[in-house]
């Protein structure tokens, strides 16, 4: 990193890292598969070509260990390795990755056991070979990774959150999940805390210059009200555990900076501002909402019309769920709307202040045309898995000769399916609801998981179809032995669903992506990247909503507004360039949604807030 001589940075390329890992092991893995099943060279090559499920997480961890090991050696290259992980749900998955290595080892061991039995029977004894060593290595590597994550001497976890109720509730859930997995979080950093007003002396005995404003005061009170209960001794509502974890959890805060720090100098300054943090005293509620005023722009009315499926996506903390909820309420004034969340961290309930579940339900105080559903993707996946395992067992029950290795391998292939299969199966069902005739909904609005994850979710149908088709191709070879049966039918159905989902996503008259972002450098850069990736996937972008624009009137607030204007202008320029490349397909609407303290909550406040959105291009 230029300007920081002791710092090196790397973006992990998961597919290259995986290839580096696989290359020396490919032949042995093929040998094990050939020994353990009826698969031939061609089948095995096909399976090994599949992008292996969850492998980026595992490889990520292996790469981190590789770098950490380099620390201990005599030619230690680094003394510290800092890992920036993906958002919450994804991080929890990363930490579960070592278990996947164990499962892979288990599948391989099952396959190899058939070979061991045959060799022992023929020769009267069995000697461990290279294939056995590979299996043992995988097992060991998984255990070492798991141990490393829990070893507090080797590393520690810092959790970063925002002083807002939803972020704090998510943090509380995540910390509880990590704690249950035996992983201790040592540090909690609360980012973007509104600073205390600067103390400025009045000049020559006159009145002190204005250094604070209504906006900043409201923000401080809102943050204090969000944080006090999260750290209270008694549990949060809905059984969420308190964040007060005694002296082991170091609490730090970074103040909200007018301009997002970018570059070595700005980041160094920001690091210097990280301070030990005290939980604020409980503050009285705000008398009324404070909304930032947007100037010189026109009302954003029907920028969402024309598509029957709107997928809202954006990075965590940008207010994606709030925007999706407000848009759905607005659409429901004259259309029948279904608002669906597939994000494992459901937050529609928090936004509307009501509980939702798998059955579509009306919003308290909302229009009768709007139904809300929170899909439980994990439960959906569990049902699919059950059907799959039953079908495998049924197929193999018909085989007279022992095919234990194959049966076990087929059974376990479901556990090796690409991660995100649960959300894709759930979302494929949503896509099917669109094709129903007569359709129960005019528009479906989905609140997808955060950016990286949403992209992956959209890429997964293709991966998953490769996986399904590889299974089916292999199954065809077994046709003589096991018959097509339920298993084939199940796989054909899944493949069809995925093809349907891909077709709907690629049709701009049906599906459009709405990106929610913030007027800051990193989110804006990510938005550009997201648009490019979506286009590569053939998915149309309908609009970019820049959320939480504006602030108050004090010097700090004016500096915030200036920095935001610069970023929005940069976003506009980037989108114009993209539009030129994009050609006749049409324009992206850029929408500004004003910042509000506290953020809009409940149907009435959301509807009111929606009327103040402005279209700026």
Q: Which residues bind Zn ion (CB under 5 A)?
A: 213, 215-216, 552, 554, 557
Q: Which is nearer to Zn ion, 4 or 196 (CB)?
A: 196
Q: Which two tokens stand for residue 512?
A: 């459009």
Q: Which is nearer to Zn ion, 257 or 490 (CB)?
A: 257
Cβ pair 498, 459 in contact under 8 A: no
Q: Which is nearer to Zn ion, 510 or 518 (CB)?
A: 518
Q: Which is nearer to Zn ion, 215 or 356 (CB)?
A: 215
Q: How far is the CB of 304 from Zn ion (least distance, A)?
A: 32
Burial label, 133 (beta-carbon count in 10 A; 0-12, 13-18, 19+): exposed
Category of 15 on φ-ψ map: left (φ > 0), alpha (ψ -120 to 50) or beta: alpha
Helices 88-123 and 451-482, packing angle to 10 deg: 30
Q: How far is the CB of 254 from Zn ion (least distance, A)?
A: 18
Binning the chain into helix, strand and coil, the percentages to the nearest 5 are: 55, 10, 35
Radius of gyration of the chain (CA): 27
Residues 6+ positions from 610 with CB-CB distance below 8 Å: 326, 327, 329, 330
Q: How far is the CB of 285 from Zn ion (least distance, A)?
A: 20
Name the residue among 607, 586, 610 with its Cα closest to residue 307. 586
Residues 6+ positions from 605 with CB-CB distance below 8 Å: 289
343 classed as catalytic: yes
Residues 6+ positions from 389 with CB-CB distance below 8 Å: 411, 414
Q: How far is the CB of 599 from Zn ion (least distance, A)?
A: 17
Q: How far is the CB of 229 from Zn ion (least distance, A)?
A: 25
Q: Which is nearer to Zn ion, 36 or 163 (CB)?
A: 163
Q: How far is the CB of 218 from Zn ion (least distance, A)?
A: 9
Catalytic residue among 43, 109, 343, 422: 343
Q: Which is nearer to Zn ion, 463 or 554 (CB)?
A: 554
Q: Which is nearer to Zn ion, 54 or 552 (CB)?
A: 552
Task: Compute the distance between CA of residue 537 and CA of residue 531 in angstroms, rounded to an integer.
Answer: 10
Cβ pair 338, 433 in contact under 8 A: yes
Q: How far is the CB of 611 from Zn ion (least distance, A)?
A: 24
Q: What is the dihedral of CA 337, 343, 346, 347, to 10 degrees?
A: -70
CA distances from 87 to 215, 246, 328, 374, 599 (A): 29, 25, 25, 20, 21
Could you write out the three-class secondary structure of 516-582? EEECCHHHHHHHHHHHHHHHHCCCCEEEEEEEEECCCCCHHHHHHHHHHHHHHHHHHHHHHHHHHHH
Name the residue among 469, 435, 446 with its Cα closest to residue 539. 446
Q: Which residues are catalytic?
A: 343
């Amino acid at each position: 990193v230029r300007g920081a001589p002791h710092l090196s940075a790397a973006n992990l390329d998961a597919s290259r890292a995986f290839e580096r890992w696989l290359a020396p092991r490919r032949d042995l893995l093929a040998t094990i598969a050939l020994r353990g099943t009826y698969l031939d060279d061609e089948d095995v090559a096909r399976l090994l070509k599949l992008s292996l499920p969850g492998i980026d997480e595992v490889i990520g961890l292996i790469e981190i260990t590789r770098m950490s090991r380099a620390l201990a050696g005599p030619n230690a290259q680094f003394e510290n390795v800092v890992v920036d992980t993906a958002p919450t749900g994804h991080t929890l998955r990363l930490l579960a990755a070592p278990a996947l290595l164990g499962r892979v080892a288990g599948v391989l061991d099952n396959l190899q056991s058939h070979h061991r039995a045959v060799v022992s029977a023929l020769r009267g004894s069995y000697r461990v070979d290279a294939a056995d060593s590979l299996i043992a290595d995988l097992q060991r590597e998984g255990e070492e990774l798991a141990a490393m994550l829990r070893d507090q001497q080797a590393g520690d976890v810092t959790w970063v959150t925002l002083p807002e109720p939803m972020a704090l509730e998510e943090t509380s859930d995540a910390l509880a999940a990590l704690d249950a997995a035996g992983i201790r979080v040592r540090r909690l950093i609360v980012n973007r805390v509104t600073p205390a007003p600067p103390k400025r002396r009045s000049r020559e005995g006159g009145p002190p210059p204005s250094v604070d404003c209504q906006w900043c005061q409201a923000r401080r009170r809102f943050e204090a009200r969000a944080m006090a209960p999260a750290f209270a001794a008694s549990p949060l509502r809905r059984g969420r555990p308190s964040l007060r974890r005694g002296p082991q959890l170091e609490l730090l805060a970074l103040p909200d900076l007018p301009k997002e720090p970018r570059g070595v100098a700005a980041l160094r300054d920001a690091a210097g501002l990280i301070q030990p943090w005290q939980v604020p005293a409980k503050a009285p509620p705000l008398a009324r909402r404070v909304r930032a005023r947007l100037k010189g722009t026109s009302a954003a009315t029907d920028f969402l019309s024309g598509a029957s499926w709107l997928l809202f996506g954006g990075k965590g903390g940008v207010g994606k769920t709030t925007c999706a909820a407000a848009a759905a309420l607005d659409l429901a004034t004259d259309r029948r709307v279904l608002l669906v969340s597939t994000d494992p961290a459901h937050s529609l309930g928090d936004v509307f202040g009501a509980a939702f579940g798998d059955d579509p339900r009306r919003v308290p105080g909302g229009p009768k045309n709007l139904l809300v559903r929170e899909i439980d993707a994990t439960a959906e996946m569990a049902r699919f898995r059950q059907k799959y395992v039953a079908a495998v067992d049924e197929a193999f029950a018909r085989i007279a000769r022992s095919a234990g290795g194959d049966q076990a391998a087929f059974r376990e292939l479901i556990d090796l399916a690409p991660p995100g299969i649960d959300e894709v199966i759930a979302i494929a069902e949503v896509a099917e609801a669109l094709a129903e005739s007569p359709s129960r909904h005019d528009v479906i609005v989905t609140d997808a998981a955060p950016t990286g994850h949403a992209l992956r979710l959209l890429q997964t149908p293709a991966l998953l179809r490769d996986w399904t088709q590889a299974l089916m191709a292999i199954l065809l070879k077994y046709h003589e032995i096991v018959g097509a049966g339920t298993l084939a039918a199940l796989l054909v159905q899944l493949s069809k669903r995925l093809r349907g989902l891909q077709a709907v996503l690629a049709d701009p008259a049906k599906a459009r992506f709405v990106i929610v972002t913030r007027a800051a450098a990193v989110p804006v850069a990510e938005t550009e990247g997201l648009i490019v990736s979506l286009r590569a996937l053939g998915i149309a972008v309908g609009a970019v909503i820049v959320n939480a624009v504006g602030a108050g009137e004090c010097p700090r607030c004016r500096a915030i507004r200036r920095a935001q204007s610069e970023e929005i202008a940069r976003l506009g320029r980037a989108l114009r360039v993209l539009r030129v490349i994009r050609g006749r397909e049409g324009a992206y609407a850029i929408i500004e949604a004003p910042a509000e303290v506290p953020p809009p909550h409940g149907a009435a406040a959301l509807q009111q807030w929606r009327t103040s959105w402005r279209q700026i291009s």
